[in-house]
């Protein structure tokens, strides 16, 4: 019941359903994109039971709810209709910093559960051997290490998908580009360290596993490349 009552108060305080362009949530915050932020009552919002604070960042009206944010989000879905497309942005013009924050937030927020899961497994792989409950040289340890490392090693592939949604690029093409960056044979070239050329142009040998910026730049460029070839 507390979730329902709080959700109703939040909906009323942001200006009602008609003032919401979209709503998504991360691990602790409800992230509204409002048609008119002036309709939201910040002072009243902060006094609603369950609300820990309010922030305005990257064109979003963020209501900090803590670990129960998913429960409040579900209640808001029950009592109102709104877009849950993270790519929806405010019509208000953003400065370069706000635009950058919006891109990083939109691309990284969906990945948080996977990164947290991998991080928790890696913590267990530290604690369990210290407690004598797991052999650090055994096969079970090795396989569990795969579980913990996978979200971080394949981070470019996951980012390629979320960035493709953000930049309105064909998702599978973006994922394919990330796959090229992580291809085992390319990794072997990087490890070997010998000079590599593509059509006579030197290729920078770098390891892209667990990287963030390179794939974001590639997908950002893809929106212009796709547009050119579509024309």
Active-site positions read 26
SS3 of residue 14 by DSSP? coil
Task: Tell how strand 201-202 and strand 197-198 pair up.
Answer: antiparallel
Cβ contact 152:146 at 8 Å: no
SS3 of residue 182 by DSSP? coil
10 Å Cβ neighbour count for 173? 14
> Cα-Cα-Cα-Cα dihedral of 36, 37, 39, 45, to 10°?
150
- Checking phi first, is residue 59 left (phi over 0); if not, alpha (psi -120 to 50) or beta? left
Cβ contact 226:173 at 8 Å: yes
């Amino acid at each position: 019941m507390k979730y329902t009552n709080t959700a109703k108060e939040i909906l009323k305080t942001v200006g009602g359903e008609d003032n919401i362009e979209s709503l998504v949530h991360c691990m602790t915050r409800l992230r509204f994109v409002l048609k008119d932020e002036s309709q939201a009552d910040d002072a009243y919002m902060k006094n609603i039971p369950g609300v820990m604070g309010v922030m305005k960042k990257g064109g979003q009206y963020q209501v900090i709810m803590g670990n129960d944010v998913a429960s409040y989000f579900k209640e808001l879905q029950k009592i109102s209709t709104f877009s849950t497309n993270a790519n929806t942005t405010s019509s208000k013009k953003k400065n370069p910093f706000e635009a950058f924050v919006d891109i990083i937030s939109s691309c990284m927020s969906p990945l948080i559960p996977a990164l947290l899961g991998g991080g928790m497994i890696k913590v267990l792989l530290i604690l369990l051997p210290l407690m004598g409950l797991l052999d650090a040289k055994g096969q079970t340890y090795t396989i569990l290490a795969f579980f913990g490392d996978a979200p971080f090693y394949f981070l470019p592939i996951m980012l390629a998908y979320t960035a493709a949604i953000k930049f309105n690029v064909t998702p599978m093409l973006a994922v394919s580009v990330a796959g090229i960056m992580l291809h085992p044979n390319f990794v072997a070239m990087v490890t070997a360290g010998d000079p590599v050329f593509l059509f006579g142009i030197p290729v920078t040998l770098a390891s892209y596993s667990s990287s963030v910026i390179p794939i974001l730049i590639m997908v950002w460029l893809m929106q212009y490349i796709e547009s050119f070839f579509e024309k």
